[in-house]
Amino acid sequence: MKIRQFVAGDRIQVAFTWNDQECRELLPPCPINKSSIQRAAILREEVRRKISDGTFAYADYFPDSPRAKVSIKDAQLMEVLLQRQLETYEKQVQNGQMAKSSYRGYAKAVTGERMRRWHGITVREVAPSALREWISEMDCTSKTIRNTLIPLRSIFEDALNDELIDFNPFDRIALAKLIKQTAKASDYVIQPFTAEERSAILEACRPDERPMIQFWFHSGLRPGELQALEWRHIDWERCIARIELNQVVGVVKAPKTAAGIRDLELNAEAMAALTSQKAISLLRGTRIWLNPSSLQPWDTDAQVRKTLWMPLMKRSKVPYRNPYQVRHTYASTLLTAGQNPWYVAQQLGHEDVEMVFRTYGKFIREDYLKPKAELRIVG
């Protein structure tokens, strides 16, 4: 801190380091005495503290400084706002408000090449026409487009609330229509395993692999539900598995919806698989299904896919499909055998039967697909 002498009178100057630059700022003219010097010292310490905390805004303290004008613009740059949004997501993960898998998806969108389109411009400079053109050029599915837009939409909502912009550019875009017109159809195909293929896969299993694969084919659990299943969840007398946990990227928690918590009826094949698994994992802890290589609980879907499923499919010589096709196989097998779609929806943990009809319609018996007026109610 210095006292600078000018023709118009002496002024106090404070110095501090900001963004690796030595900054010197003159305080407004005032009598130079013990009190003003003390106030200047307190101000300097406050500035240094906020710089250390990452909350310092140059214009709040020195609005007439050239650096204030530069910093205001820098703070409104899209890449800065995107980074701040990502930091917000990181805090939500730490507080348990966001799943790690969701964070990874947002981080991929924020740091990806596609988002660089907005680097170098301020939030105010993003025009609806540019946003519309950018979205229309995305060569991906509607789900990917919507997930990519989530961080961006949050930025504009915050900017509008903070009065950095006069309007939200998303409000001037017919987004649903635009996505429908430009998104490409998903290339994911439901391709259940045939009875012959299931037999080939089971025959290719090692003894320590077969119980889990056999149980999976006869339960249709989501990968995370399978990984999180514990011995206490099995009712041996009623042949039921209580599904109340799901593992996502190593984190075990309750299913997303109330329908995900359910009593799953187990057939003889599923119960036989559990009986065989007793010798492998019953005395090793709470989890039923373990990684055969380590005899530890599975961590992630990717671990199951890479260390068990892919080598198994190669040995079986069955054309490769991802592990989620096991769930599709379970559902389609039940429906093809004439099981009630509402029962299948309950077994799968769906909130209603709509998804079953939409996803597995071709496997459902024709009498379930007839208009309601054509169905007879038998007493």
| pLDDT, position 379 | 35
Rounded CA Rg of the chain: 30
Residue 373: per-residue pLDDT? 43
CA distance 117 to 131: 10
DSSP 306: I
Q: Dihedral (C-alpha) 111, 117, 120, 126: value to the nearest 10 degrees? A: -120
pLDDT given at position 215: 98
- What stretches of 191-238 adopt beta strand conformation (E)? 234-235
| Angstrom distance (rounded) from CA 129 to CA 171 | 12
Q: What is the pLDDT of residue 235?
A: 97
- Amino acid identity of residue 265, one-letter, is E
State the SS3 of 70-115. HHHHHHCEHHHHHHHHHHHHHHHHHCCCCCHHHHHHHHHHHHCHHH
pLDDT attached to residue 75: 64
**C-beta separation of 91 from 52 below 8 A:** no
- Give me the pLDDT at residue 71, please: 55
The list of the chain residues with pLDDT below 50 reads: 372-379
Per-residue pLDDT at 185: 67
Distance between CA atoms of residues 122 and 292, nearest Å: 53
Burial class (CB in 10 A: 0-12, 13-18, 19+), 106: buried
The model's pTM: 0.61
Residue written as token pair 């002498």: 5
pLDDT at res. 374: 43
Q: How many CB atoms lie within 10 A of CB 152?
A: 23
The contacts found for 14-22 with CB under 8 angstroms, 24 or more apart, are 14/40, 14/43, 14/44, 14/47, 15/44, 16/44, 16/47, 16/48, 16/51, 17/51, 18/51, 18/56, 18/58, 18/67
DSSP H/E element including 320: none
Q: What is the chain's length?
A: 379
Contact 261/344 with Cβ under 8 angstroms? no
What span, in angstroms and rounded, lies between the C-alpha atoms of 84 and 100? 17
List Cα–Cα distances, 231 to 226, 227, 274, in angstroms.
12, 12, 9
Q: Residue 368 has which token pair?
A: 């379930």
Q: What is the pLDDT of residue 378?
A: 40
Q: CB–CB of 146/100 below 8 Å? A: no
Compute the distance between CA of residue 209 and CA of residue 290 in angstroms, rounded to an integer: 9
What is the C-alpha to C-alpha distance for residues 112 and 104, in angstroms, rounded to an integer? Answer: 12
